[in-house]
């Protein structure tokens, strides 16, 4: 059994797509544009602001309007970041199993820490969570190992004692770079990553509770 399980946030621990989509569509309405359907936005949630503005406005970070639109998008999101967001089905049961088994768990996300912490708190998980590491907590975000190594430092658990679970190939790259076991969450957003079977994760799960089987083998 591992000593700790670390989770990506968006698309792995929680389904945050509805609230991110709502923020984008509030911004689009302000700009006089029609809303984008959730089904179109959902796969790109793991790409953060860049992904949302890319599909919603067809722009990249080097566009002149990008900084202002990004700031406004984040304003809308921060004002309503946990209205429709929910843990994925089975995730609460999984977290309870980890708690009852004495396995620490935490969150390592590329979402800014100032957004990740209140979201985890709104989900009622802060007191149970061993660590919350945002994309700006360490020197470099995923796919670099820095955030995961920061999580190890803050929990006192060595990388080889951890599993990292994520729904993007960057999560798997970061986990491997940190020396952790890696689990790809096929139930997540997957985004613009190549086929999940090519990520070279140590395991692939189709449902959060499938992680229990992985824990038994680790």
DSSP secondary structure letter of residue 186: T
Decide if 139 contacts 147 (C-beta within 8 A): no
CATH number of 4-15+86-217: 3.40.50.1000
Question: Where are the chain's structural domains?
Answer: 4-15+86-217, 17-79
Decide if 66 contacts 60 (C-beta within 8 A): yes
Write down the catalytic residue from 10, 146, 167, 168: 10
The mean per-residue pLDDT over the stretch 116-145 comes to: 97
Task: Count Cα atoms within 13 angstroms, Cβ side, for 38.
Answer: 10
Which pTM does this prediction carry? 0.96
For residue 146, indicate whether it is catalytic. Answer: no
Which tens digits make up the pLDDT trace of 30-84?
A: 999 999 999 999 998 888 899 999 999 999 999 999 999 999 999 999 999 999 9
The mean per-residue pLDDT over the stretch 145-169 comes to: 97
Which tens digits make up the pLDDT trace of 107-121?
A: 999 999 999 999 999
Write down the catalytic residue from 8, 15, 19, 168: 8
For residue 8, indicate whether it is catalytic. Answer: yes
């Amino acid at each position: 059994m591992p000593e700790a399980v670390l989770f990506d946030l968006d698309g792995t621990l929680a389904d945050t797509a509805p609230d991110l989509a709502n923020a984008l569509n509030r911004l689009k309405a302000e700009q006089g544009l029609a809303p984008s359907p959730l089904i179109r936005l959902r796969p790109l949630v793991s790409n953060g602001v860049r992904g949302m503005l890319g599909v919603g406005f067809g722009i990249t970070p080097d566009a002149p309007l990008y900084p202002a639109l990004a700031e406004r998008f984040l304003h809308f999101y921060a004002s309503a970041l946990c209205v429709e967001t929910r843990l994925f089905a089975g995730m609460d049961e999984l977290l309870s199993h980890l708690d009852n088994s004495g396995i620490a768990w935490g969150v390592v996300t590329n979402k800014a820490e100032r957004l990740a912490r209140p979201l985890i708190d709104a989900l009622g998980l802060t007191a149970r969570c061993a660590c919350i590491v945002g994309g700006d907590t360490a020197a470099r975000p995923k796919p670099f190992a820095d955030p995961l190594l920061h999580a190890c430092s803050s929990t006192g658990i060595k990388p080889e004692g951890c599993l990292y679970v994520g729904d993007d190939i960057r999560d798997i790259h970061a986990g491997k770079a940190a020396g952790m076991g890696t689990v790809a969450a096929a139930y997540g957003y997957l985004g613009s990553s190549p086929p999940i079977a090519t990520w070279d994760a140590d395991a692939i799960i189709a449902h959060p509770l499938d992680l229990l089987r992985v824990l038994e083998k680790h």
